[in-house]
Structure 1
Amino acid sequence: MLDYQKYIDILDDWIVNRDTTVIAVFIITTLLLSAGFGMTATDSGTSQFTESVPAQEAFDEVNDNFERQPFGEGTGSTTLIQQDQNVLSKPAILDMLRAQNRLTQRASQNVVGTTSVAQAVAQTLAPNANTLPEQIDAVEAASQTEINSAIQTTLDRQPAVVGLLSNDLNRGEPSASATLTTVTHEVSGVSSSAGTEGSSPLTAIQQEAEFIVSSVDGDISVFGSGLISAELSSVVSDSLGLVVPAAVVLILFFLIISYRDPFDLLIGLVSLAMAIIWTFGFMGWAGIPFTQLLITVPPLLLAIGIDFGIHAVNRYREERIEDITPTPAMRTATDQLLPAFFIVTGTTVLGFAANGTSQLGPVRDLGLVASVGIIFTFLIFGIFLPSFKHFIDRQRVRYGLPEFSIAPIGSEDSAVGKSLTVGVTIARRAPYIFFALVLVATAAMGAYGTGIDTRFTNEQFLPPEESPGYVEVLPEAVAPSEYTVTKQINLLEDTFESGESDTVTIYIEGSLQDGTALEEIHRANQDPPGSFVTAGRSADATSILTVINRYERASPEFRRLVAQNDQNGNGVPDQNLLTIYNALYDSPYDDRAESYMTDDYTRTRIVYSVESDASQQEVTDDTRAVADEFRMGGTATGSVVVLKAVSDVIAESAYVSLGLAILASAAFLLFAYWLLERRPGLGVANLVPILLTIAALAATMRYLDIPFNVLTGTTLSIGIGVGIDYSAHLVHRFSEEYRGDTGVIEALNISVQGTGGALAGSMVTTTSGTGVLVLAVVPILGQFGLLIALSVLYSFIASILVLPASIVIWDHSRTTLDALLSSRSLLSPN
């Protein structure tokens, strides 16, 4: 057996004989790490989750090659959404033109162009009205009858204008309830992504645009990526503003009940604050940005820290209640607690570190930060808190300060202590039957939990359209901001044609001069899969073929050129393609051609419309199937495909990290108990309640329809890290008590009533502290908080009820094996 006691003795010596030195070292370290706070950046976008995803890389290439801004590089757009009883009435058209004009006149808006129905109608009324003031004058001078005639003419001549009007457009007596206007600004650093950028140069421009547009009569709102970025950042700060105070109040309340002593409460709170400061200071020094996922770290550190703190104080009180003085009482407490804390820390770190295998950078950061934070928590609560507690109690003795309570939670005669022995009673009477029922229940819940759905959308990170009811009763000082983006997204999807279907893209790389290149594109559009929007028997698609067909209709000469090179008469040229392309690029359609094919004729794209009610899975599978048909090599991409790819990575990460966490924790527990106690079987007994907890948590997720996403996908592996805390404390305490003449049931009773009381206090405090995440504005954070709180509750129940039976069966098995080996030894001729 490893003589680890000499190392603990060294720590004991520092804790009880050099407590002031230990306190000073930790305070200095806190000051140094706190400097990292000012270095911590914030990344609140969702594009961080799509980085390094192959579909996103292809999507970026598509955007780089084909999505050229109409006003050149370095431009971004803002959408104005106008709603009215009739946006095609004269007053409404004037309101929109005035809003555009005021934006254009403001130099800070850097407006380089605007596009709207109002402008198109004004130019139909007065073709020479090229500026917004002139267009306003033209509309003001016209009657509603003249405006209605101009609207009908505009809709006939410019079909694209229809897409800027709501679905309830009435062409006969022109009317519509909503319209869109695009304002283009000159900015730098604008990029396209399936995710939403965490910071955007458009944010300041669009926030100012909101103020400018509000000065115009009429219901006109501003929408754009910059405002989405701003709301994402606001959601993070607002969520913290709601969650942190609520967590502090609840944790403080339950800590007061658990400690029942103001000095011990102060020690616990200082240690918790120190763990948070160390962890976030480390993030700043390490250059790790603060993301939505890392909002979960403080509750997790509080969960472990509260547990460690209550255990340390409770175990110390168990010694002090026997009239033992502070120094020997603290030595005994740390002798038992430091190995237990080491086991808990090791398994918890492995649970978090398992997320390091994820392909998603923010999930890896979460695993790293949480792991480092748990190590900090071990140091603070394993060394600093006992030193601080010992120092305070020495001063109490020296100056005669009162001790408010030294009674541990869950003493033998208390109601809590008696209620915690239910599992021991079951273990004494029917351990095997109960254990068999537990195994069946674990298998059943685990099988049911394998049906958890996986989803990833940008909207998961945005606040709901309607704020939760509790927000209405909050004081104005703490009430979250008023959010509009989700409401606007839903409006765009429900009100305009562009919101009825999404698109996917197939990105093709290869020689497009080959005679079969365009024929391949043509064949891919025939008999499309079920999720694609169809026009007859063909897919609703736009590609280089679309541009060729449009130029054919405009140019008889080009039409003859295509016909001459169409060998099978299907309208698709299949020879001399270089000649076709050169003619196309020398035509007025060259800009459109460049939107679908590069000028070196080696890359092209096909954009397909897909059904709005089709699932991400269906759309992605169908798009990949079509892409695989291309001999040149096609890659399925587009926002739907990218988000589905991220969903797949999330699911893979969840199961891989869960498997690694279980295997690593099992190996660590076996090794730790062999090393420390020569009882490796206790590691298996330790793991049984955790497997039950994970199965119950997975079943709960499916039952409540909580999907795997970038946040909840980490809960199963984190559940191991947090949950194993409870069983590890009980098992280690049992191993300390189960020595000499103490029987297994008696040792279990002592362990459950002593350590179980601390577990109960920790469970109530932790579930409250992490459960307050349900108050977060973003539902995804509420789901995570609920699941972590449930994992703690399930872990506590499983440890108290299941662990005693697991230990009794381990003891029976060990005794039987020892007897068998002994009998074989006696029968041996040697």
Structure 2
Amino acid sequence: MGRAGQRIEDGVARLNEWIVTRPRTVIALFLVMTAVFAGGMTAVETQTDATAGFSEDLPEQEALDAINREFEDPFEADDETTQLIHDGNDVLSREELVTMLRLLEQIDEREDLRMESATGPATIVAQSLDPSAETPSAQRLAVESATDAEIRRTVRRLSENQQFSAVVSDDFNPNDASASTTVTVVTHDVPRGFDDLQSVQTEIRTLADDEPADIRAFGSGIVNAETGSIITDSLLIVMPIVVILLLGFLAVAYRDPIDLALGLSALLMTLVWTFGFLGISGIPFDQQQVAVPVLLLAVGVDFGIHFINRYREETVKGYDAVPAMRIAANQLAIAFVIVTVTAVFGFGANVVSDLEPIRNLGLVSAVGIVFTFLIFGLFLPAAKLELDRLRDRYGVPEFGSTPIASEESALGRLLSVSVTVGERAPALFVVALVLAAGGLGAYGAGVDTTFEQEDFLPPEEEPGYVDYIPEPFAPGEYTVTNTLNLLEENFEASQDTSITIFVEGPMTEDHALEALAEPNDDPPDALAVGPGGGAETTSIVTVIRSHAQSDEEFAALVARNDRDGNGVPDRNLDRIYAELLESSAGPRAAQYLTEDRRGAQIEYTVESGATQREIAADGAEQADRFRYAATATGQIIIFDAISGIIFESAIQGLVLAVVLTGVFLVITYGVLEGMPLLGIVNVFPITVAVASLVGTMRLLGLPLNALTATILSIAIGIGIAYSVHITARFIDEYGDSGDNGDNGDNGDNGNNGDVAASLRTTLTGTGGALTGSMLTTALGTGALALAITPVLGNFGLLIALSVIYSFVISVVALPPALFLWDRYQTGRRRGM
């Protein structure tokens, strides 16, 4: 060991000496910090908009924001709406129309529900019967006083009305005057910045539920309300299961109620500190953050089991409490630091993402890991010593004080099998693992990447286990996914089958409108849905053409200024715009041409069978065909852009985590032990594990999404702990180049320079603790699979798999790799 390494170990030893000699000071300091962070927990805010933050700074989102700014009057109130979806056998019958109007009447009578207007089949039919019926009450009277025959005749007459057709389902039958589903849109008169729409829509949903008909309220406030409930319900389902699993495995690992209580207290402190940091930093708690407490519990359990197990290994040798804790702390401190730093690299690598929620997840989990290290590395040993002193003073017996495994145990023999196998053909074993990892990684490179709102919503049908969850942990009733599916099945217009291209340029130049129309004659495949393979668009050009068909004077004006006779004027555009905007078509024209006439939007219908990626690519290609600057946007395109960033974030996070971890371990082992190559040996198992995980993702059809994209770097952060702990214990047993095994702090292991013996001692000692932590971590994180939302469920499953892969591959891959390392070391020493 070099001087730098010796100084580091001396510093660690001095810190540990302070801990074991002043445990009460350490305990008091940590309790004060816990109180401070507990105060911060009161400031934690929940982010209920599941997709918020993902589209920040995207050019596609900025284009959409520009459209919203340019085509909306900034001095008008926000146009907030609630949809009332009426479903049944025939919701256009007289009785059903009256039911809807009665509900609208109740909403209108409530000032707190801020209803400004309502538009739907019932209101349109009522006003067709009585044009003077402007209030829901008057409209209800108009429908009630009409006969069934009059209602049917009115509905048949309205079948040609575009506004009416848009709010009845696709199965609308004009002859029978029937439809299975309708949508009524309630517009709310709210000031800009109004933030209580959620309670308004929730109250409207209550009124709708009281009606005898199947009427459901839907809107952004209801979506956000259910998203917030999903976060709470997921925690209420997952955390008790995690706690029960932890209690079961910790009871087996600790076998002592006092040690069990100590371990749980340390875990609770970790959560308090982390949530307190959330409140103090102002980072919102969203669905992604649900994974953080589970990850921290997993790492904390690992630290706790290792510390208690290592401490017991020394006490069973006859050491008193303080010397035993000193030995355990000195041996584990460096390993804990290495595990913490590599975990920070793994979790924190996500801060390079361009997506804010993923950055926040990386930051919070990295900070939480540091907190976990401080609590389990400093507080736990001090508290353990103080509790043992109190136990001795009051004569409280120990219920279990032996390590988890030994060389004579069945578990110890099983874990050491890889030593025997790895010793016989280490090179062949390592090459086989490298080839397997390469094959799995290549296969996994084809894993899908997605970003969909449905990932954050509960499934339409809740899993069967939900029925057996008792109060108060049972989740509430969720309707959003069912409603979205109902709209998608019954309303073609409700499906997101369009994109928008925002064009910026001088729209008063003679060629401007021709420049908007020309690219639409031969568009890319996803946009070629119009007659003759052209594009089906809505723009200022189509508004001009439509108005010219109904206004002869305007048609003559267009014809005089249309030199090529194609219906698109190419001179005097200023006058044409002025005439158009002053006509009855003015409000519609204003939706496609900016007030300063330097921007226009074009809406494109897209091929219903095209994929998100195809639509985005063809939209970008179409935008490039315009003479002016143009950007394709819309939810489909924005979500595809987010999907691309998710994939980039996953790869960047993985590469950064591997590189930082590898460099850190090479430097650490070089400085501390004079064996830098051990850093590469440490990284070898986790790279195999990550390659296996990616291959498994593709095999199971699990995509990289808003949360699982973080799994690759997080797998590095969690999985590297297994190889680090095994390597750290191996070094203690092996000795520094075979000469310093008599250090009194390592318990006279007697394995100096003997790789096989050192590995067997390591895998039966540390391997036992690793087995316990693997089981608790895998099952604890795997409990996320029971979360209501698919994104959390998939993340929990993958985290559990990554833990299992990391443990198994570390046990299997490290022995042959260390045998090869020893051959290299031995050959190098002989060649010196």
Smaller-chain TM-score bracket: over 0.9
For residue 635 of structure 1, report the CA deviation from its aligned partner: 0.3
Residues 522, 528 of structure 2: 8 Å contact kept: no
C-alpha distance in 1, partners of 2:807/2:501? 51
Among residues 623, 626, 629, which one is paired with 1:627 in the alignment?
Answer: 623
Q: Distance in 2 between matches of 1:570 and 1:800?
A: 75
Letter in 2 for 1:167: D
Mean CA deviation greater in 622-631 or 550-559: 550-559
Q: Structure 2: which amino acid aligns with 1:569?
A: G
| CA deviation after TM superposition for structure 1 residue 528, in Å | 2.5
* Contact 1:457 1:643 (C-alpha < 8 Å) held by counterparts: yes
Q: Contact between 1:541 and 1:608, CA under 8 Å: does it hold in 2?
A: yes
Match of 2:652 among 633, 642, 656: 656
What one-letter code is carried by the residue in structure 2 that aligns with 1:255? L
Partner of 2:269: 274
Aligned 8 A contact 2:289 2:361 in 1:
yes
- Cα distance in 2 for residues equivalent to 1:554 and 1:784: 57
**Aligned residues of 1:75 and 1:188 also touching (Cα < 8 A):** no
Matched, 1:309 2:313: no
Q: Secondary structure at the match of 2:526?
A: coil
- Identify the residue that residue 425 of structure 1 maps to in structure 2: 420
Amino acid at match of 2:8: Y
CA displacement at 1:444 relative to structure 2: 0.4
Q: What SS is found at the alignment partner of 1:49? A: coil
Structure 1 residue aligned with 2:239: 244
* Alpha-carbon contact 2:562-2:570 (below 8 Å) kept: yes
Counterpart in 2 of 1:99?
Answer: 103
Q: Would the alpha carbon gap of residues 53 and 250 (structure 1) be closer, same or farther in structure 2, given more than 3 Å must change?
A: same
Aligned to 2:749: none
Counterpart pick for 1:474 among 455, 469, 472:
469
Residues 385-396 of structure 1: pairs in structure 2 closer than 5 A: 385-396=380-391
Q: Which position in structure 2 is the counterpart of 1:705?
A: 701
Match of 1:194 in 2: none
Alignment of 1:713-792 (within 5 A): 713-739=709-735, 740=739, 741-792=752-803
Which ranges in structure 2 are unaligned for 5 or more consecutive residues?
740-751
Distance in structure 1 (CA, Å) of the matches to 2:430 and 2:390: 49
The one-letter code matched in structure 2 to 1:679 is M
**Partner Cα distance (2:135, 2:726) in 1:** 78
Alignment match of 2:8 (pick from 4, 8, 15): 4
Q: Report the CA distance between 1:44 and its aligned residue.
A: 2.5
Which residue matches 1:563?
Answer: 559
CA deviations 1:780-802 (Å, max 9, x no partner) are 10100111111111110011111
Distance apart, 1:132 and its partner CA: 2.2
Q: Which residue identity is paired with 1:109?
A: L
CA contact (8 A) 1:111 1:186 kept: yes
**1:90 counterpart residue number:** 94
Which residue among 186, 189, 193 is the counterpart of 2:189?
186
Contact in 1 for aligned 2:440/2:694 (Cα 8 Å): yes
Amino acid at match of 1:540: E
Q: Tell me, what secondary structure is at the counterpart of 2:166?
A: helix
Output the amino acid matched with 1:751: T
Aligned partners of 1:119, 1:334: CA distance in 2, in Å? 76
Q: Which amino acid aligns with 2:570?
A: D
Q: Which residue of 2 aligns with 1:124?
A: 128
Say if 1:501 and 1:612, in contact at 8 Å, map to a contact too: no
* Contact 1:500–1:612, Cα closer than 8 Å, also in 2: no
1:545 partner amino acid? V
Which residue does the alignment assign to 1:416?
411
1:570: Cα distance to partner?
1.2
Q: 1:812 to 1:188 in 2, by over 3 A?
A: farther
Q: Structure 2: how far apart are the matches of 1:254 and 1:612?
A: 51
Letter in 2 for 1:737: E
Residues 1:801 and 2:812 aligned together: yes
1:825 matched to which residue of 2? Answer: none
Q: CA deviation at 1:159?
A: 2.3
SS of residue matched to 1:401: coil
1:169 matches 2:172:
yes
> 2:61 touches 2:633 (CA, 8 Å); kept in 1?
yes
Kindly provide the amino acid, as one letter, of the partner of residue 187 in structure 2: T
Is the 1:502–1:609 contact (alpha carbons within 8 Å) kept by the matching residues of 2? yes
Deviates more, 1:737-746 or 1:645-654: 737-746
Pair 1:222-2:225 in alignment? no
What's the offset of the Cα at 1:389? Answer: 1.0
The answer to whether the 8 A contact 2:444-2:696 is kept is yes
Count of matched residue positions in the alignment of Structure 1 and Structure 2: 811
How many angstroms does 1:27 deviate by? 0.8
**1:602 is aligned to 2:598:** yes
User: Secondary structure of the equivalent of 1:707?
Assistant: coil
Greater CA drift, 726-735 or 385-394? 385-394
User: Does structure 2 conserve the Cα–Cα contact (< 8 Å) formed by 1:84 and 1:92?
Assistant: no
- Asked if 2 retains the 8 angstrom alpha-carbon contact of 1:203 and 1:229, the reply is yes
Name the residue aligned to 1:197: none
Match of 1:454, SS state, is coil
C-alpha separation in 1, matches of 2:145 and 2:48: 49
Q: Deviations over 1:83-111 (max 9, x none)?
A: 12111111011111111111111111111
1:22 match: 26
Structure 2 residue 458 is matched with structure 1 residue 454: no
- For residues 759 and 571 of structure 1, what CA distance do their matches in structure 2 show? 76
Identity %: 45
Measured against aligned partners, the alpha-carbon deviations of 1:364-388 in whole angstroms (never above 9, x if no partner) come to: 1111111111111111111111111
Q: 2:294 aligns with which of 293, 296, 299?
A: 299
Kindly state the Cα deviation for residue 7 of structure 1 after the two structures are TM-superposed.
Answer: 1.1
Matching of residues 535-546 of structure 1 within 5 Å: 535-537=530-532, 538-546=534-542
* CA distance in structure 2 between the aligned counterparts of 1:54 and 1:626, rounded to whole angstroms: 16
For residue 66 of structure 2, the aligned residue among 61, 66, 77 is 61
User: What SS does the corresponding residue of 2:527 show, helix, strand or coil?
Assistant: coil
Corresponding residue number in structure 2 for 1:109:
113
Superposed, 1:142-541 pairs within 5 Å as 142-156=146-160, 158-189=161-192, 201-500=196-495, 502-532=497-527, 534-537=529-532, 538-541=534-537
For the Cα contact (< 8 Å) 1:454–1:647, is it kept in 2? yes
Matched AA of 1:618: E
The equivalences for 1:808-827 within 5 A come to: 808-820=819-831, 822=832
- Alignment partners' CA distance in 1, 2:380 and 2:618: 59
> Which AA in structure 2 matches 1:539?
A
Structure 2 Cα separation of the partners of residues 512 and 631 of structure 1 = 12
Measure how far apart 1:724 and its partner are. Answer: 0.2
Structure 1: runs of 5+ lacking an equivalent: 192-199, 823-830
Q: Distance in 1 between matches of 2:73 and 2:708?
A: 37
CA contact (8 A) 1:409 1:416 kept: no
Distance, in Å, in 1 between the alignment partners of 2:531 and 2:728 is 71
- Give the drift of 1:461: 0.4
Letter in 2 for 1:505: T
Mapped to 2, the partners of 1:172 and 1:320 lie a distance apart of: 89
Could you say which residue in structure 2 is the equivalent of 1:694? 690
Distance 1:346 1:129 in 2: 71
**CA separation in 2, counterparts of 1:709 and 1:738?**
44
1:40–1:290 CA contact under 8 A, matched in 2: yes
Report the more deviating stretch, 478-487 or 136-145.
136-145
Aligned AA (1:602): R
Q: Output one character per residue of 1:512-562: Cα deviation in whole Å (capped at 9) or x when no partner.
A: 112221112111221232222623123121000111112211222221121
TM-score (norm 2): 0.96
- Deviation of 1:625 after TM superposition, in Å, equals 0.5
* Aligned amino acid, residue 75 of structure 1: D
Residue 746 of structure 2 is matched in structure 1 by none
Corresponding residue of 1:828: none
Q: CA deviation at 1:67?
A: 5.0
Contact 1:44 1:229 in 2 (8 A): yes
Quick one: which amino acid aligns to residue 279 of structure 2? Answer: G
Q: CA deviation at 1:306?
A: 0.5
1:827 equivalent in structure 2? none
